[in-house]
Structure 1
Amino acid sequence: MSKCKVCNCDLGEVPMCFGGNSPALLMVPENEYDSRVEENADQCIVDGEHFFVRGHIELPVKDTGEIFIWSVWVSLSEQSYDQMNEKWNEEGRENAEPYFGWLMTNLPCYPETMHLKTNVQTQPVGFVPLIELQPSEHPLSKEQQNGITMERVHEIVHQVMQH
């Protein structure tokens, strides 16, 4: 097995999922949080007018067949949020058309990721939606389309752990 250039550990010994904080933390002062935010692990509403869902951006790791995951928040229109929420516990919800959304998590290791265009595809009950970036020249979009190497996973891990 090859070694990480930064920490010299085996390349397979790394976390494969990192997540971003709730978008409410960016929008609402802590002392107003309870009165303005409805939130659980997967959904968030701020002031009754900003709607968010948590999902996963999956990056295939080409040299291992594994998947590296960014757990992120995406904003949806009220209509899309209501439609998704209506089917949240329904069997077969993964067959719904994807919902358009805006990425609302700024990820380390990339140029600005806030407000990238996404498609949000619900998954079977019990699984968070998959977030697919709309194709663009952004490095995150290219990595989702083309995959990354385990060496790149290590670069990401080291950058995230230093924040």
Structure 2
Amino acid sequence: MPNSLGFTCSCCGDHHAELPMSYSAMAPDVWDPAFESDPNSTLSSDQCVIKGQHFFVRGLIEIPVIGSEDVFSWGVWVSLSRDNFDRALDVWNTEGREAEKPYFGWLSTELALYSESTTDLKTNAHTRPVGKRPLIQLEPTDHPLAVEQRTGITRDRVREIAMAVLHPA
């Protein structure tokens, strides 16, 4: 009997044993590999600075899966002001940092699966305990991603996302 968490892909016909519950962008959309040689630019797994002027942190947009305890997540980048970025770095490895106020930011990851652009959606980055990426909460608008974050998605929607990510058009 196939794993109930897996799925048979309608694109390739293969059975995938597990249903992926997260996808992540490796860099903000505005990152260019040419920045690697710029001494005022850096990209790590959690932070990014471009030309000493643009500041980003990586976080998770978490979406509840309806009818389960599962959470689907998008690993995304948000731009922060220099002050908020500096503060986030100051407390990055500090126990109790989750007591920080959320940092306002702009979503800097385009999720092409959505009919409307996700770039520049308003967000709040909520710091969590050391070792956990920030929780990215979208402004409660009628954007499809914001609606999904508020209301949840079905397991069928998770499969739909998996097929679109695994087999981009």
Q: Which 4+ stretches in 1 moved above 2 angstroms?
A: 1-10, 25-28, 30-34
Q: Please say if residues 61 and 149 of structure 1, whose CA atoms lie closer than 8 Å, have aligned partners that are also in contact.
A: yes
Matches within 5 A, 1:57-72: 57-72=61-76
Q: Counterpart of 1:149?
A: 154
Query: 1:44, 1:112 → 2: CA distance?
Result: 22
Question: Partner of 2:66: helix, strand, or coil?
Answer: coil
Please report how far the alpha carbon of residue 37 of structure 1 lies from its aligned counterpart in structure 2 after TM superposition.
1.8
* 1:34 partnered with 2:40: no
Question: Unaligned 5+ residue runs, structure 2?
Answer: none
Give me the whole-angstrom Cα distance separating, in 1, the residues matched to 2:69 and 2:22.
Answer: 15
3-state secondary structure, aligned to 1:89:
coil
Matching residue of 1:103: 107
Structure 1 position 134 matched with structure 2 position 139 = yes
1:57, 1:132 within 8 Å by CA — same for their partners in 2?
A: yes
Offset, 1:4: 5.4
Stretches of structure 1 that go unaligned for 5 or more consecutive residues are: none
CA distance in 2, matches of 1:13, 1:63: 18
Instruction: Tell whether the 8 Å contact from 2:9 to 2:163 is kept in structure 1 after alignment.
Output: no
1:102-155 CA-to-partner distances (Å, cap 9, x unmatched) read 000001210210000000000100111000001000000000000000000000
Helix, strand or coil at the partner of 2:149: helix
Is residue 108–residue 160 contact of structure 1 (8 Å, CA) maintained in 2? Answer: no
Q: Is the counterpart of residue 123 in structure 1 residue 128 in structure 2?
A: yes
The alignment's TM-score, normalised by the length of structure 1, stands at 0.90
2:30 counterpart SS class: helix
What amino acid maps onto 2:117 in structure 1?
A: E
CA contact (8 A) 1:21 1:105 kept: no
| Residue identity in the other structure for 1:40 | S
Distance in 2 of aligned mates of 1:19 and 1:60: 17
**Root mean square deviation, CA, Å:** 2.0
Cα distance between partner residues in 2 of 1:46 and 1:70: 22
TM-score (norm 2): 0.87
Instruction: State how far apart, in whole Å, the 1-side matches of 2:30 and 2:41 are.
Output: 12
- Contact kept in structure 1, 2:26 and 2:45, CA below 8 Å: no
Aligned with residue 49 of structure 1, among 48, 53, 65: 53
